Chains A and B, each alone.
Chain A
Amino acid sequence: MTTTPTPSPWRRAVGLILLAFALGFFGVAMGWGQGHFLVSAYHHAGI
């Protein structure tokens, strides 16, 4: 019987750490940048 090889725990950890960093970076960059712009545009000229 063959078993599916599982990734080493540390390899999985590194992948999750990098993923968390990337998600945090892009989430905040987009949210901060776009959100700040939308708030400014709303105060400036409305919906």
Chain B
Amino acid sequence: MLRKLLTSAPVVRLLAWLKDTRVWLFAHPVILVMVVLSGAAGGAAGVPAGDQMYMYMWRDPRFCDDCHVHDYANERWAASVHGKLTTCHDCHRVAIRHYPLNLVVTLFDTPKKPEDIPLAEVAMVVCEQCHISEGEEEPLTGPMTAELRALVPKVDNSPLHKAHLHAKTRKPSAYKGGTGEVEEHRETDPDRFVVCLDCHGGSRLNVHRFVAVSEECEVCHEGIRPKDESGRNLECLDCHARGFEGTANAQGEAPAVKPAAVSPSGE
């Protein structure tokens, strides 16, 4: 097949033209020099364009949205503090094979509804690289700078974060509202340990809701949410926010420089 291609009329004409042009250029050295310089100038002009292309693919969420088309996720992320400090690649570690594989899937097995698309799981180790002090020892290959990373609140000394992340089971005691059953809204193994996305992820069409809400707490802690005098449910963080607060470093020190987007609670 390759031989057939190489002997086809257009290819033969192209090769003949290239040979003729080479001979002609070497017979006109001044023009040859001008052509080489022109190619170099084109290459030099292409560097900023290539840089722009790289910045779009690596740092702009619209690149991912070109295929994934999840406006709701992009908007919620952009409105959060993560939108000011991270890019998609910081948390969604996408291997190179993802791009051609997803092109094939898009062409030959196009998802018909949101449920056909697997959820984007974010491993705890990704959150830990910024949100625990030991994580800073891990090299970060994403676009976030070291200076910004140092300002991210750490949960090392947060008692309630530690209580959840060090728990040996997802099933709290009955005193804490445990029932032994976990709502399978994320197709998760009910016996695995608690991970960051359990509280900070959001359900399928509610992703990038980084702030934990009471409904997420009630997945495991059922029936213990108190009500106020008018009978409305109180929010869990009304009482437990301080127990979950993070600090800029493990020693509990406040950041020296606090970007406007970062609140004491981390959102």
Residues of A within 8 A of B (CB): 9, 12-13, 16-18, 20-34, 36-38, 40-47
Contact = CB atoms under 8 A, between A and B. Distances in A.
B46 A34 contact: no
Contacts of B24: 12
Interface of B is mostly: helix
Interface of A is mostly: helix
The 9 closest A-B pairs by CB, nearest first: A24-B42, A32-B50, A33-B53, A28-B46, A21-B42, A20-B39, A33-B50, A29-B46, A25-B42
Contacts of B52: 33
Contacts of A36: 50-51, 54, 58
Interface stretch (B4-12, B29-37, B256-264): B29-37
A40 B58 contact: yes
Nearest to A13: B31
Contacts of B42: 20-28
Interface stretch (B92-100, B160-168, B191-199, B234-242): B92-100
Contacts of B141: 40, 43-44
Contact of A41 (B39, B46, B94): B94
A16 B50 contact: no
